[in-house]
Every structure is written in C-alpha cells, then in structure tokens.
Amino acid sequence: MGRLFVVTLDGSIYSCKHCKTHLALSDDIISKAFHCRHGKAYLFDKVVNVTVGEKEERMMITGMHTVVDIFCVGCGSIVGWKYESAHEKGQKYKEGKFILERFKVLGPDGSMYVLGQEVQVGGSDDADDA
Amino acid sequence: MSTMKCDELEVVGGGAIITDWNDIPMELLLRIVSLLDDRTVIIASSVCSGWRYAICSGLSHISFSWCKNNMNSLVLSMAPKFKNLRGLILRQDKPQLVDYAVETIANNCHDLQEVDLSKSFKLSDRSLYALAHGCRSLIKLNISGCSSFSDIALAYLTGYCRKLKILNLCGCVKAASDKALKAIGYNCGELESLNLGWCEEVSDAGVMSLAFGCHDLRALDLCGCVLITDESVIALANNCRHLRSLGLYYCQNITDKAMYALAQSRVKNEDEVWESVKSRRYEEDEGLMNLNISQCTALTPPAVQALCDSFPALHTCPGRHSLIISGCLNLTSVHCACAFQAHRALNTLAHHAY
C-alpha cells in the first residue's frame, strides 16, 4: 500500500499493543464501564490511526446496534468497534463514538491489561454503565 | 576581570591589535555567539555593556522554548533589549506565556518577521491584537495549538499583517473558521503555506475564498478537515497554479472528481509546460510534489493513477515516497513511473534465473 501515514498524539496516550501506534488520548474517554469478550473496554470520543471494516448489526446487552469494526493502521489488528447507529433512543449517545478494547491497547503508562474474572459475559459484546 | 589578558594578536596589514578580551570586533563576537545555545546567548549579553550592545543590536533570531518555568519574566526583561529581533520562538511544553508578555514583545520588536507561539494555551485574543498593531512585517506565524484564539481576532491580524507567507493554524478550531479564511484570502495575497490541520469547522466556502485570493499558495494541509468536498480541491486546482503540497488526510468526502480536476489543471498549464521544456527545466519541478490522501476511501485506482501520471514528482517508490495512500486498501495497484519500471526489471531478471 505504500508508506504508512500515522497521526501522533500528545498527552496520555493509549496505543496499539502490537505496533505501538497511537490510538487515543485518555482525555477523550467518555466511559470506562463497557465490557467485551476479552474484558474491559472504554468508550472514546475520538480515535486516530484506525481503519474501518464492514457495517454490521450486532445484538448487545443494551440492544441492537449498527457497528463497524476498527483496525489499527499499523499492524491491521482489530482494536475495537465504532457505533454507527443505535436502534434505541436511550443508546443514541453512543453514535459516532469508538470502543477500544482494553486488552488490545497499552495504557498511558505502557501497561498491558491482564484478563480478569469478568471474561465470558455470554455472547454479547458490550454492557452499559448505570 | 579587566586584568585578564588573552594572547596578543597582531593582524598583518590590518594594523588592528586585540590586546584585551573585550576588544573583540562586533562582527567576530556575533559570529561566535551564533554558535552558542540560546540560554548562553542571553548570559553573554549580560557580561558587559559592550557585549550587551553588540548582541542586542546584532541578534536576529532567538528561542526561549528551553525556559520551562519563567518564560514570562524572561520575555519581559529581554524584549525591550532585543529591539532588532527578526525571529522569535516561544513554543512551550508547559503552557506559561500570558498576553502581557506578547504585548511587550509587540511594543518593542517591530521588525519581527517570524514568530512561533505554538502550544500557548493561555493566550487570548489580546495577543493577536497586539501583534497586529506592533508587528506588521510578520512573514511567518505559528499559532498551532492555541485553542483560545477566535476567528475575529485572526481576521483582524491578517488585515494588518499583509505580508504573511507561512501560517500555521493546526488545531486552532475556533480561529480557523470560514470567516477567517475569507479574511486571509482577501488580505494575504502572498500566502505560500497554510496549515489547517484538525480545524474541523473549515468548509468549502472558506477554502474556495482562500483559493480565489491566494494565488501563490504552494502548500496546504487540510488534514482532518472533514467537511471538505471536491469543490475545494477543484477551486485549488484551478486557481493555485503553484500548488506543490496538499494534505487531505481523512477528508472522506473527496472523490475521483477531485483527482481528475487536479490532473486536468496540469494540462491547462500547457503553455507554461512548453515554456519549461523549451528552457530545459526539469519537468518534475512543476506541479504537485506531495499529496496525502490517506483514509480517503472513496477514491478508485484509475483516478489516482491518472493523477500520478500527470504529476511525475508524485512517487510511490520506497525511496521517494510522496503520494501517501495509507488506509486506502483498494489503491494498492497505483504506482509511479519509477516504481513500475523497477517492477518490470525485477520480472525480467526472474525469467533468466532458473
């Protein structure tokens, strides 16, 4: 494809676990109370250096959503998903926002996430905060 | 201190004998000082009155970015001394600079041509008004990251600083609005380089007024300006004949129409192209040299290949990569002429080796 173009961020940065590409700032976290198959996930307002996949309808704990998977541009690994649209009114706030799975990213201090006991929350991919 | 003597130096033919350390001629002193780091330059200007006079009148460029905690006091004490300053860098890692400091600079250093105020989060419009009144010879201004500036103040500044050639507004979401771009297009006709990265409110109206006003534009970065459509690129292609570098990262509304418009602008330049061929200037000097269309997923290979063919300075080969298509997974077949030839050479070699 040619030379990679990446955006560099300034501040407390979450980066891809495999290739260290900058993904998001901790200032852009909206909620830390999401869950996915691999444990915790955070809802971000803005994420960079990701490319999107195909739209799909997915049933989550909070209802039906249209999501696209997002992939790191550096290594191509899947890092989370983006909410394109929510079918229920109460979930509309998520539209246009991104989920980064904590397991797939390194924290601002470079720390990795170790799978805890909250793994295997049925087959669904997200839960909501209260 | 005055009893310290350095070696006697006799200049043959010149007749000048330097006997004391502070007899050094001003030009020589300034040449030595130009090799020092900025903090030492300021210390040197405090050594004695002779050195202070020499350095303060001869110094043209200085940076205060190394000053982590007391930049304001430094500026307040240094600005009245360095009156002939032409270039000043005040980029901060930790936001410190306040409006009063910038006002002091604007009141003293009227010959300033280059100012870097990037990441000055604490500055307000007062600073821009001060610069407008005090530093009318500004050629290069960097206010990237200054999120508090408004578009009214920026428009006001462009009305006074008409010689602006290089302007960096990266991240100035409030300041870089269509209104401000209209003012820039109207006032700054000599503008050559403009960085509008991450200025999300920029739309076609602003970029078009920029294109109509700034015919000398050579570099424009619209990275992250998501509202931009083909109309902006078409306006740029038709009006800015000297455009060399264009950044359209994440401008996902851009389609093939924009690519063809750029390619065709080269053809419209036909008379100029023949002139350059006649005068035997290398064709690669003309036309687009850098283009970033990463994440512009609506583009298709034929359009981008046509663009690559029209502008020989756009390269996809590893050595001279200047057409950046990161994230456009359907454009992998696009190659510049040199990459294609290298590919062919490799193929012919493979046939010979059994």
Q: Is ipTM beyond 0.85?
A: no
Domain boundaries, given as residue ranges, for chain A = 13-119
Residues of A in contact with B292 (CB under 8 A): 5
Return the residue of B nearest to A75 by Cα: B327
CA–CA min distance A75, chain B (Å): 11
> Can you list the positions of beta strands (E) in chain B?
5-10, 17-20, 61-63, 87-89, 114-116, 140-142, 166-168, 193-195, 219-221, 245-247, 290-292, 323-324
Residue whose C-alpha is closest to residue A6's, from A51, A52, A68: A51
CA A15/CA B296 separation, integer angstroms: 23
Residue B338 — very low, low, confident or very high, per pLDDT cuts 50/70/90? confident
A51 in Cβ contact with A79 (< 8 Å):
no
pLDDT given for residue B19 in this prediction: 74
Residue with tokens 């690129």: B233
Kindly report the CATH number that applies to the domain delimited by A13-119. Answer: 2.170.150.20
Instruction: Output DSSP code: residue B25.
Output: -
A2 touches chain B (CB under 8 A): yes
Task: Select the more confidently predicted residue: B136 or B5.
Answer: B136
Report how far residue A90's alpha carbon sits from residue B193's, in angstroms, rounded to the nearest whole number: 46
Residue B40, pLDDT > 50, answer yes
Q: What is the pLDDT of residues B244-255, one digit of tens each?
A: 999 999 999 999
What is the Cα B312 distance to its own chain's centre? 24
Is the distance from CB of B178 to CB of B202 less than 8 angstroms?
yes
| Cα distance between residue A66 and residue A85, in whole Å | 5
Q: Which two tokens stand for residue B35?
A: 């090799």
CA distances from B9 to A19, B5, B13, B139, B215 (A): 60, 11, 13, 43, 56
| Dihedral angle computed from the Cα positions of residues B169, B172, B178 and B180, in that order, rounded to the nearest 10 degrees | -70
Place of tokens 């926002």: A97
Residues of A (6-35) whose Cβ lies below 8 Å from B: 6-7
Using the structure block, give the residue that is written with the tokens 């065709």.
Answer: B264
Q: Model confidence over B280-323: pLDDT tens digits?
A: 444 446 789 999 999 999 999 999 999 999 999 999 988 888 99
**Residues B327, A51: C-beta atoms closer than 8 Å:** yes
pLDDT digits (tens, 9 = 90+) for B210-269: 999 999 999 999 999 999 999 999 999 999 999 999 999 999 999 999 999 999 988 766
pLDDT value at A102 more than 90: yes
Instruction: Indicate whether A125 pLDDT > 80.
Output: no
